[in-house]
Every structure is written in C-alpha cells, then in structure tokens.
C-alpha cells in the first residue's frame, strides 16, 4: 500500500523500486531479530543502521581494498543507508496517516539551514526552498563532484557504437544533456527533427523543451527511416533483435550496451550518466549562463547546476593564470 501511495504521489518507478528493496532488507532484518514492524523502537532502528554499516556486500572486493577516501569497497555507502532510512521513515509516516496513534521510531531532526549564497539575499532570494526536517539518524554524506569524460574519451566511446540507435542515445545524452531514464521514455512524437526540439519528461513528470543538436537530429532521422523495427509501441528507442524485438529498450539493456563498449574501448568511466556530466561540464567551461544550464539539464534547483561551474577546470585555470599574471605585473 505504501509503495502504491508513492506511485500516486508521482514518484518515479526507479525510486519506488529502490524503496521496495530497501524495505525488503529491513523486513528481513526484523525477521532475523524477531521483531514486528509495529514494535520497532528508535533503539531498534539504531541497531538496524549499525547492522547496515557493518554488513558486507557479496561479490565485492574484500576488506583489504579501499577507496582513496579510506572507505572499504565491501561496505554499503552512506547514501545507500540514508536511502534505506528514508524508505523506512516514509513507511512509518504513511502508517501515521492511517492511524494517528501509530508510533514512529524515526526521530525528526531540525530543519536543514544550509542555503546557497544567492538564496540568503539578492536576486535568488525568491528561489529559496522550504526544507523539510531531516532525521538525526542520517549519516554524513561526502560531497562528490560530477565526473565527466575527456573529449578524446567521449569521442572514442561514441565512435565504438555501431548502430544508429546507440549513437542517437549517446548523442542525446552527450550533446543535449538528457538523463538515461529520459532517453528511454522518449516517444517518437517527442522529437521534432525539423524544428530541432526534444520534449523531455524528467523527474516528477516535469516537462521541458531541449534544443536538438543538428548532428543528433540527423542520426535519429536515419534510425527512424532505416533501423527502427516495426512496432505498435510509441517509444522512440526499441529493442532491435531477439525475443523482445519491437519492445521499448530497458534500463538494463542500456547498461548492457555501455558495459560492452566500456570493455571494448577500455574507458572505465564510460557510463551513460557520465555523458550527461560531460555535457554539463562543457556548458560550464563555455561560460553558459547558470539559469540556461539549469533549464537545459532539468534541475529543480540552481544549486545542483552550480556543481558544474565548480567543475570547469579550463575556466578556473584560465582565471587563475590571468590573476597571477596581473599580480606579477603589479609587483614589478
């Protein structure tokens, strides 16, 4: 019932699926410790979170392999544990809607006070969001910048793609900034090849119009005319062969395609979302206005887009070298 409630609230299928597996892991732990869902206390929830932190992931490298930040690769990341906590908190909140007397073991923390500099005052003050209180049980997450591909690596990865469909998908992410989920849900009618526009349905069913790169439009045109199989489906990108020929391409199928070409080219970072990050980084290095970048990338808030500005190494290095040159000139 809770997962159906999330679908009614327009949560994405991927989020609902992830929450389902998170709650499954929680229920399995409750079964191991012989505790009913209705009887969970805050102390019990702390025990579960401790078990999540100490659990090892099957199939991962052993405890002797760690990241550059010192985190073991066989343990769950803080983001995964926080997502599990969010799923559990949502479940008990949903139970409280049905029964006001139901206990909620998830303590509510104080409201997050962090805002961007422009939200405190000035021109962006009207964009300030009303932040929901976050549980005091949340783990501290590391702030990671988006990882983009270099121009040679991006070109090599795209060149390895042999079908018009795969090239069109890569082009929409690399030169139009679409998410992989947005690419997979595109319908044929969403692409205006003549006018060079794409109507994209993003997170939360929010629509936006993105300019279509001329080269990508040509690739899509050839795909529709010469390669797309006959089908009753209105999806743009379909499975080309096999038992599922004519059905919409799935996220697992897309991951399989890129996994194969990562091995073929040797580009370890050649994941689908890395192409979108490359698009955002290219815009930032070109000095594109932040509001325009936000509209193109479909971010709900400008502070998400601002990560790409911090990631623009060419622009930052250029400004740094120019400043150093001015300082040297003044000290002579």
Which is the catalytic residue, given 196, 273, 307, 315? 273
Of 138, 177, 133, 212, nearest to 293 (Cα)? 177
Distance CA 332, CA 329 (A): 6
84 annotated active-site: no
Which is the catalytic residue, given 165, 167, 276, 277? 276
Which is the catalytic residue, given 179, 228, 235, 271? 179
Distance CA 301, CA 266 (A): 35
Distance CA 310, CA 2 (A): 39
- Please name the helix (run of DSSP H) or strand (run of DSSP E) that holds residue 192, with its range, or none: strand 191-192
Burial degree of 226 (CB within 10 A; 0-12, 13-18, 19+): exposed
Q: Indicate the length of the chain as a whole number.
A: 332
223 annotated active-site: no
299 annotated active-site: yes
173: which 2 tokens?
């992410």
Q: Who's near 254: CB < 8 A, 6+ residues apart?
A: 169, 180, 183, 184, 272
Distance CA 262, CA 269 (A): 8
Q: Give the chain's end-to-end CA distance (angstroms, integer).
A: 73
Which is the catalytic residue, given 196, 203, 209, 307? 203
Distance CA 92, CA 82 (A): 15
Which is the catalytic residue, given 84, 228, 277, 299? 299
For residue 182, the tally of other CB atoms under 10 A from its CB is 22
203 annotated active-site: yes
User: Using an 8 Å Cβ cutoff, are 224 and 164 in contact?
Assistant: no
Residue with tokens 């190494």: 313
90: which 2 tokens?
């949502």
User: Using an 8 Å Cβ cutoff, are 56 and 75 in contact?
Assistant: yes
308 annotated active-site: yes
Residues that are catalytic: 179, 203, 273, 276, 299, 308
């Amino acid at each position: 019932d809770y997962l159906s409630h999330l679908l009614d609230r327009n949560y994405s299928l991927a989020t609902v699926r992830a929450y389902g597996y998170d709650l499954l892991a929680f229920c399995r732990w409750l079964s191991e410790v012989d505790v009913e869902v209705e009887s969970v206390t805050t102390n019990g929830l702390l025990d579960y979170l401790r078990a999540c932190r100490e659990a090892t992931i099957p199939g991962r490298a052993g405890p002797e392999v760690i990241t550059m930040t010192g985190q073991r690769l066989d343990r769950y990341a803080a983001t995964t544990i926080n997502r599990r906590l969010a799923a559990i908190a949502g479940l008990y909140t949903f139970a409280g809607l049905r029964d006001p007397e139901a206990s909620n073991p998830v303590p509510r923390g104080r409201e997050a006070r962090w805002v961007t500099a422009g939200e405190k005052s000035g021109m962006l003050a009207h964009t300030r969001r009303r932040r929901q209180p976050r549980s005091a049980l949340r783990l501290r997450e590391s702030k990671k910048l988006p990882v983009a591909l270099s121009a040679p690596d991006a070109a090599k990865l795209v060149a390895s793609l042999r079908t018009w469909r795969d090239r069109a998908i890569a082009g929409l992410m690399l030169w139009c900034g679409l998410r992989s989920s947005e690419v997979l849900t595109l319908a044929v009618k969403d692409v205006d090849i003549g006018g060079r526009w794409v109507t994209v349905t993003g997170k939360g069913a929010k629509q936006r119009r993105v300019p279509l790169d001329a080269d990508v439009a040509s690739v899509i045109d050839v795909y529709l005319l010469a390669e797309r199989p006959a089908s009753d489906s209105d999806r743009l990108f379909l499975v080309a062969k096999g038992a599922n020929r004519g059905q919409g391409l799935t996220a697992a199928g897309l991951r399989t395609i890129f996994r194969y070409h990562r091995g073929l080219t040797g580009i370890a970072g050649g994941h689908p979302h890395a192409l979108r990050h490359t698009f955002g980084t290219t815009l930032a290095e070109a000095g594109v206005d932040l509001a325009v970048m936000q509209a193109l990338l479909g971010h709900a808030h400008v502070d998400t887009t601002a990560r790409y500005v911090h990631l623009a190494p060419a622009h930052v290095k250029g400004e740094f070298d120019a400043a150093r040159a001015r300082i040297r000139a003044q000290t002579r």
